[in-house]
Structure 1
Amino acid sequence: MPTEMLWVAPTCALLIGYLLGSIPFGVLLTRWSGAGDVRLIGSGNIGATNVLRTGRKGLAAATLILDALKGVAAVLLAHRFAPGNEAVAAAGAFLGHCFPVWLRFRGGKGVATMLGIALALHWPVGLVYAAVWLLLLATLRMSSLAGIVAALSAPVSAALSGRFDLVLLFLSLALILVWKHGDNIERLLAGTEPRVGARAADAQSDDLPMNETPLNDSGV
């Protein structure tokens, strides 16, 4: 195979992953359901937690699941049509979610999509990710902190399970996710980050629903 052709498969995997990841399910579902534009609600974020601020838990759950499935689909398609480029497709899906061209590169924060990627690439890492996320969310009731720690657990659990080929990918995605949570981190350090379940009047965080019922599957 000519050297220049070696770039075709990874380039296609990256592009397809990006296009899948950039589908803004939070925006589409809220519009189709008549709930309005999620970007004009709450924090303006397109993730599941902000979708919850519409008051429709079903839409928030659907957004969470579909955002995770974007990562799963990208990996599985690469495995089927461009084997060996699953990690490239996964990176594309994550970048597409966080920086979708259709929304002027203002997307979500990647927690749910990274979960889907982890489950598809190496399910034990995905299970650890989900367990850390849900445990911290249930105990500390801070969605942002739960998502950040869960993401940082991925490269660690990949290394501990012997998947050193995935460590750099998970570390890179985790660092981007942490950067996307910059405002949340500032509030965490200042002790002003609201907890899941606080009243609507206190909903200033990108990770806080406007009702009083916690969403255990909170995702961004």
Structure 2
Amino acid sequence: MFMYFIYAIVIGYLLGSIPFALVIGKVFYHTDVREFGSGNLGGSNAGRVLGKKAAIATITLDVLKVVAAVAISAQFDAAASIWAGLAAAIGHCYPLFAGFRGGKAVATMFGFLLSTAIFTFQSAWYVVIPFLFFLAVLKLSKMVSLSSMVAAVSSTVYILIMQHDPAITAASLLLTLLVIYRHRANIARIRSHTENKITWM
């Protein structure tokens, strides 16, 4: 049982460490996105530096790498699979293949929610409820950062209510803390009323 968790964490971290924003930038645009914008290896910065198509491709692949990690790990242990999702998010933030300088875990968080809903919990509500919170807060605040943090918190609260496995709830809580920690600069800007807001909603 313990070895399943180790396998899941290793699989998740390695897949999460694939820096798709960096790969897409260098292969198709001959640009290192870490040198521009916020410097993050996430979909938002890829879009800011490279454009809409690069953003969509990066976000899609960042979601799918978490789905792949959870799907593989779920084949041998459902509880371990959620730790694969957490490890993938950590790998995305601190990628082995990109000098431990990655993204903010927003796309990977939704990859985590989607994949665990399918493979771990086998219930769509585990991704639907956080996504609804995300949309509601985004509609009211126009801030992706705040919406992402609220979605992460709502996911953990829902899992705490619905699940009674300490390993599963611990993994969810750690992911939420990771998302909040990676957005600490955004939190400071929210407090000072200088955070960027979307204009398309």
TM-score, structure 1 as length reference: 0.80
Aligned to 2:191: 189
Bigger fraction of residues in helix: 2
TM alignment of 1:44-193, pairs within 5 A:
44-82=39-77, 84-122=79-117, 123-160=124-161, 162-165=162-165, 166-193=168-195
In the alignment, the residues of structure 1 paired with residue 160 and residue 3 of structure 2 have an alpha-carbon distance, to the nearest angstrom, of 30
Q: How many residues align?
A: 193
SS at match of 2:37: coil
Deviation at 1:82, TM superposition (A): 4.9
For residue 13 of structure 2, what is the aligned residue in structure 1? Answer: 18
What residue in structure 2 maps to residue 210 of structure 1? none
| Unaligned residue ranges in structure 2 (runs of 5+) | 118-123
Q: Please, which moves more after superposition, 83-92 or 53-62?
A: 83-92
Distance, in Å, in 2 between the alignment partners of 1:53 and 1:35 is 15
Q: Deviations over 1:169-200 (max 9, x none)?
A: 21111011101111110111111112124xxx
Aligned residue in 2 for 1:34: 29
Paired letter, 2:155: A
Whose radius of gyration is greater, 1 or 2?
1
Measure the CA separation in 1 of the matches of 2:79 and 2:190.
39
Q: Which has the higher contact order (CA 8 A, sep 6+)?
A: 1
Say what the alpha-carbon RMSD is for the aligned residues. Answer: 1.8
CA contact (8 A) 1:111 1:151 kept: no
Instruction: Tell me how far 1:118 sits from its aligned partner.
Output: 1.5
| TM-score, structure 2 normalization | 0.88
Distance verdict in 2 for CA 1:128–1:107, change over 3 Å? same
Give 2:29's aligned amino acid.
G
Aligned partners of 1:159, 1:183: CA distance in 2, in Å?
28
Partner of 2:121: none
Letter in 1 for 2:144: S
Q: Quick check: 1:30–1:38 contact (8 Å CA) kept in 2? A: yes
Match of 2:163, as an amino acid? R
Contact between 2:25 and 2:50, CA under 8 Å: does it hold in 1? no
CA distance in 2, matches of 1:133, 1:32: 32
Unaligned runs of 5+ in 1: 1-5, 198-213
State the Cα distance separating 1:84 from its structure 2 match: 4.4
